[in-house]
Amino acid sequence: MSIFRSAVLVVFAFLSAGAGIAGACECVVRDDGGRVIARIEKDGVFRDGSGRKIGSFEAAGGAVRSGGGGLIGKIDSEGVVRDGSGKRLGVVDEKGILRNSSGRLIGRIDGGTALRNSSGRLVGRLDGWDADCVRPVAAYLMFFDPRHQR
């Protein structure tokens, strides 16, 4: 493994574990027509296109919560996605590739801005993407966006 690849993996693990700048991800999710369908705020809150809180992601522990605060899942520092009872639902890697529990591709974040479904079709865009957004965006896509859910 190259030194560069090793460094990238260490940085990803560091940020994914919540050790980086807390709540550094802030982005807008758009559909393929450009309409805002969700916002991910710096504090991890997910809002739908009309501004209603629909859920949240806690960077420190990876918890995914409903709009009412109930635990509905988790994405651990290795990118494993689990439901609220601990059942493995899938995985997301540091590049933003989403797979279900069988390993089948269900979507990907392409180049940090394009959202693609399992067949590669553009289904949306991200505004404000950076490396801190992998797990929060994956949490939104896996638990709240029906285009990418398991």
Q: What is the pLDDT of residue 23?
A: 52
Report pLDDT for 42.
93
pLDDT for residue 10 is more than 60: no
How many angstroms separate the CA atoms of 122 and 60, rounded? 31
List pLDDT tens digits, range 57-111: 999 999 999 999 999 999 998 999 999 999 999 999 988 999 999 999 999 998 8
Q: What confidence category does residue 131 fall into, taking pLDDT thresholds of 50, 70 and 90?
A: confident
The answer, yes or no, to whether residue 4 has pLDDT greater than 70, is no
Count of positions (residues) in the chain:
150
What is the DSSP-derived secondary structure letter of residue 18? T
Average pLDDT across the chain, whole number: 83
Q: Alpha carbon of 122 to those of 34, 37, 58, 105, 141: distances in Å? A: 11, 15, 28, 14, 14
**Quick check: 21 pLDDT over 50?**
no
pTM, whole model, 2 decimals?
Answer: 0.79
